[in-house]
Chain A
Amino acid sequence: MIGNLNGIESLSFTQVEKIFMGRSYALPNGQVANPVDQSTLRTEFYEKLTSKPIEQINAYWAQIVFKGLNFLPLLSDDKEVLTIINSNKNTIGYIDKKNVNNRVRVLLILN
């Protein structure tokens, strides 16, 4: 999990889960998180986050979306994620550990 250098220091697993499952967008610093998805690592990320298959996650989101919420903005890969996070303070996203650079801050490492 990475975030903007100007943003929060770190996030707990639960906080990440809450934010990405659309439960709570509140950040520890009191600002609203702006999570982004990416298609390359999506399956792996959600399985690691919720221990549930991606189909279930999709179904969950389908319900949510159907009732008026938006999907998270879906980016294509780590590169796009890094770019967005660099330019937006409260945006958080996930990338492969090996693509992490010093312009972003690692908030949590999912194993």
Chain B
Amino acid sequence: MKLFRTKNLHYKLVSYIFLAALVFIGVVTFISFRLEINHANQKAEIMINQLMDTVEGTAAIAVYANNSQIAKDVLDGLLRNDVVNKAVIIGDEGLLLEKIKSKQDNKKEIIRELRSPFGDNKSIGQLSITPDTNFSLSEARYAAFSNAINAFILIGLTLLFMLLVIRSLFSKPLIQVSNTLRNIIAGEQERIEPLENNKNDELGRLVVNINKILDLLNTKLSTQQILRKRVESVEKKLRNIFESTSAGLFLLDKEGNILTCTPTLLKILGYEDNHLIAINGQDFATLFFKEPLQFQQMMQTALELEQLEAQDLMLHNNTEENPLWVHCLLSKIIDSFGIIRFEGVIFDISKRIATEKAIQYEANHDALTGLLRRNVAELQLRKHLASANNGSTVVLILDLDGFKKANDTYGHDAGDSVLIETARRLESCVRHNDVVCRLGGDEFLILLFDCTPITTGFSIAEQIIAAIQMPVAIDAQVTITVGVSIGISVFPVHGSNVEELLKSADEAMYEVKRKGKNGYGIKNKNGTIAVNRPFAKK
């Protein structure tokens, strides 16, 4: 059965024919056996008749002479033939002799009348012979078998010849074509060589047709290649734009989940490229913005008003030190399937915001000491007074004692050092929420919010006086000691607005200066100013 698994067509074909031939040979052998049996029977009959012809004379003599010895010889002679199984001689004078080889039945005996050898030629007895079944059987077997062998050999040889012919006429050219086809790379200008011996037959036409198909394929492939290259180049350009654009583009579904976005967007948002897939489907607003509500509001507006929304937004990883801001444009679109989506662009504006903040900071703070400028402090005070919990606000105006002299003596650098140190000490004396401001020169303003009881303001003032009068080391040789005069006003006792409070505090401060400096003063209810100099030598 291995034969049937072979890949060669000609072996397969020949194998099938061989099998069929075996079946045919079997059938034909069976039929021929039947016929041969008949033939052998006829042959046996003929042979027996011939034998009878041979022995008839002698048998007749035996019968005529009533001689059992002769009859016995005749029968013995007959039985020596394969074709004879049983022979009987019957004479009318009482001779009866029978010889038998083996017990067999179903065979018709052949009877020959024995005639008198002399005179009237009358029947004087019978010679009967029964043919041997085995003879015809073996004859038939032999004939059928030799027929089968003949057929087998003939068919075998024919098949062998067929195999060779098929192989050379079909298989070889087919294999050649197949191998060439296998080695042909689609789209290459290659053809199957025309077959030498099969130019005009089916195989030749097959080659011609295959070549036609190859031509067609070639043309189509080259056309497709050109088209594909065009598409590729366009796609590449678009991809370059998409990937290299400084704008972060994104597409969201109606619920605000990310559908796709550019790598730039991820860089702006502080992610690496490989997060691209992971973030798809997530909520854009909560993923990126510090205040998602703002973005959701934008989406809502864009949805309702159907116009481009623009807003500066703070990113989720925004910090005071490293502000991260983006400018976001958002608009509603309806895609080709009629589904509502949002498309948007994000620009990194962190630098702008940082610059703006720096400018703001410079505008708000004193360049030398880093303290707030007067206008900012006044603004804060104004805001605070306007707010609901504005009670117990204490305003302190401070002026250094002896600063001008130190400045003149040791120079501006030394004076600046004193101012910086003073600012540091002032900030260390006040509470976290309090505001320290440089009004200009050696004048400072301190705002104490929620200062209850009011005497807390006084103790802070005393701490300040104690801190400031400590010597300031300029370098190894020089130390400078200054003092401070503080004027205090309390809201709403000394005024209901900024100007009144500052004026009252200012008056109190000047009163301290007049009374000997290095102390604090506050206006009494009767308009006089009480001065306290805790460190004055008594």
Assuming A49-B118, A50-B119, A52-B118, is B69 touching A60 (CB within 8 A)?
A: no
Query: Which one of B6-14, B60-68, B307-315, B461-469 is at the interface?
Result: B60-68
Assuming A17-B118, A50-B118, A64-B65, is B70 touching A23 (CB within 8 A)?
A: no
Pair B119/A51 contact, Cβ less than 8 Å: yes
Pair B70/A67 contact, Cβ less than 8 Å: yes
A14 to B122, CA, bound (A): 11
- Closest CB of chain B to A53's CB: distance in Å? 12
> Which residue of A has the minimal Cβ distance to B72?
A67
B117 part of interface (Cβ distance < 8 Å): yes
Pair A22/B119 contact, Cβ less than 8 Å: no
Q: Mark B112-156, 1 if CB is under 8 A from A, else 0.
A: 000001111000000000000000000000000000000000000
A13 to B69, CA, bound (A): 27
A70 part of interface (Cβ distance < 8 Å): no
> Which of A14, A50, A52, A64 is close to B67, meaning CB atoms less than 8 Å apart?
A64
Residues of B within 8 A of A49 (CB): 118-119
Within 8 A of B (CB), among A74-94: none
How many pairs of A and B residues are in contact by the CB < 8 Å rule?
A: 40
Residues of A within 8 A of B61 (CB): 60, 63-64
- Closest CB of chain B to A44's CB: distance in Å? 16
A36 to B58, CA, bound (A): 24
Residues of B within 8 A of A67 (CB): 67, 69-70, 73
Residues of B within 8 A of A50 (CB): 117-119
- Closest CB of chain A to B124's CB: distance in Å? 8
Residues of B within 8 A of A21 (CB): 64-65, 118
Pair B118/A24 contact, Cβ less than 8 Å: no
Residues of B within 8 A of A22 (CB): 65
Residues of A within 8 A of B58 (CB): 63
Residues of B within 8 A of A63 (CB): 58, 61, 70
Q: Mark B78-119, 1 if CB is under 8 A from A, else 0.
A: 000000000000000100000000000000000000000111
Q: Mark A1-24, 1 if CB is under 8 A from B, else 0.
A: 000000000000110010001111
- Closest CB of chain A to B97's CB: distance in Å? 13
> Which residue of B has the minimal Cβ distance to A13?
B119
Residues of A within 8 A of B118 (CB): 17, 21, 49-52
Within 8 A of A (CB), among B409-434: none
Pair A23/B69 contact, Cβ less than 8 Å: no
Chain A interface size, as a band, is 10 to 19
A64 to B64, CA, bound (A): 10
A17 to B61, CA, bound (A): 13
- Closest CB of chain A to B247's CB: distance in Å? 141
Interface centre among B66, B117, B120 (most CB of A within 10 A): B117
Pair B117/A60 contact, Cβ less than 8 Å: yes
> Which residue of B has the minimal Cβ distance to A20?
B118
- Closest CB of chain B to A17's CB: distance in Å? 5
Q: Mark B43-64, 1 if CB is under 8 A from A, else 0.
A: 0000000000000001001001
A35 to B113, CA, bound (A): 29
A12 to B65, CA, bound (A): 19
Pair A23/B119 contact, Cβ less than 8 Å: no
Residues of A within 8 A of B67 (CB): 64, 67, 69
Within 8 A of B (CB), among A17-44: 17, 21-24
Residues of A within 8 A of B64 (CB): 21, 23
- Closest CB of chain A to B54's CB: distance in Å? 15
Within 8 A of A (CB), among B240-273: none
A73 part of interface (Cβ distance < 8 Å): no
- Closest CB of chain B to A31's CB: distance in Å? 18
A17 to B122, CA, bound (A): 13
Residues of A within 8 A of B69 (CB): 67-68
A23 to B61, CA, bound (A): 9
- Closest CB of chain B to A92's CB: distance in Å? 17
- Closest CB of chain B to A66's CB: distance in Å? 9
A64 to B58, CA, bound (A): 10
Residues of B within 8 A of A68 (CB): 69
A52 to B117, CA, bound (A): 9
Pair A14/B119 contact, Cβ less than 8 Å: yes
Pair B119/A24 contact, Cβ less than 8 Å: no
Residues in A lying within 8 Å of B, measured CB to CB = 13-14, 17, 21-24, 49-52, 60, 63-64, 67-69
A-B contacts, 6 of them at CB < 8 A, read A14-B120, A21-B64, A23-B65, A60-B61, A64-B61, A64-B70
Closest 5 CB pairs of A and B: A67-B69, A50-B118, A17-B119, A67-B70, A22-B65
- Known pairs A17-B119, A63-B70. 14 more at Cβ < 8 A? A13-B119, A14-B119, A21-B64, A23-B65, A24-B66, A24-B93, A50-B118, A51-B118, A51-B119, A60-B117, A63-B58, A64-B67, A64-B70, A67-B67
Residues in B lying within 8 Å of A, measured CB to CB = 58, 61, 64-67, 69-70, 73, 93, 117-120
